[in-house]
Amino acid sequence: MQRSGTWVPLAGIITGGIQLCGLCEIDEFCCDRLRDRFPRVTIDPDVRELWLEPGAADIITASPPCQPFTVEGKRKGSADERDCIGAVLRQIRRIQPKFAVIENVPGLLSAPLVPGDEPGTYFRQMLRELWSSGYDAEWVVVGTAEHGTLWEGERLLLVATSRRIVEKFRIEPTAWEHKIRSSSEEVGNYPEKRGLQSRMARTTVRTAPGVDIPPGVPSRNGITRARRAALGNCLDPRIATIALKRVLYLNSLLS
């Protein structure tokens, strides 16, 4: 069972072996799309107000807003009102899932806890909180184009594993980097990789049959604007499956 943000449902279907039991999403346009595709799944609006009983899910996944950490922003860290990572960590501490997955921009690794702090203090605080909650953490930065996606860039993936699970592993896990390298080599000749541009430069918004609006074109259509905003924040499910496959692999090591 899994408690999830918006990027996991399709990745979970692609990966297999995962059952969606709940969603948390604040954007109403995205909520409408999720209701269309998962009509029987509860959608909570705000992770900061979410209350679940301990043991409510085996996996918690989250893609918190990246604005507090991206090198293209002001990097206010926990001083940014959009910062939701603290709320996610509180959910992990209370629910105590077997695994937790957090996805964000690589800038999270070097972001200060608050403006003026040393670089990297936010991420180090994250690791301390996960450790005190009973979790070991591993993380990687993956290049999206190396895994067949048409979007160029990098994403940070973190998998936290409960130490009560780690103690039951039959064998020592293979390093995550090795498995990711093998996966990227399988798509190394992906024909669309050549000449990749930025995510939004390659993307258009389909508003009607045969009508595409490039992101830079102004639109008075509210649905088009909502689609464009959602598209700018989405994560290719092929990248999301990297983290889910790691979870399934670690789960398979249990005795």
**pLDDT digits over 196-205, tens only?**
333 333 333 3
DSSP 8-state secondary structure symbol assigned to residue 221: -
Taking the C-alpha atoms of residue 144 and residue 240, their distance in angstroms, rounded to an integer, is 10
pLDDT > 70 in the chain, percent: 72
- Render pLDDT for 50-67 as a digit per residue (tens, 0 to 9): 988 999 999 999 999 999
- How many folded domains does the chain comprise? 1
Classify residue 210: in a domain, yes or no. Answer: no
In terms of residue numbers, what domain contains 148? 2-196+236-252
Please name the residue ranges forming H helices in 38-171: 85-95, 121-132, 163-166
Q: What is the mean pLDDT of residues 9-18?
A: 76
- Render pLDDT for 82-125 as a digit per residue (tens, 0 to 9): 999 999 999 999 999 999 999 999 999 999 999 999 999 999 99
State whether residue 114 is helix, strand or coil: coil
What's the pTM?
0.80
Q: Determine the Cα angle at 120 with ends 119 and 126, to 5°.
A: 150
Q: What's 6's domain CATH number? A: 3.40.50.150
Residue pair 136/169 in contact (Cβ under 8 Å)? The answer is: no
What is residue 118's predicted lDDT score, i.e. its pLDDT? Answer: 96
Q: What is the mean pLDDT of residues 125-133?
A: 97
Classify residue 74: in a domain, yes or no. Answer: yes
Q: What is the mean pLDDT of residues 159-176?
A: 94
Classify residue 204: in a domain, yes or no. Answer: no
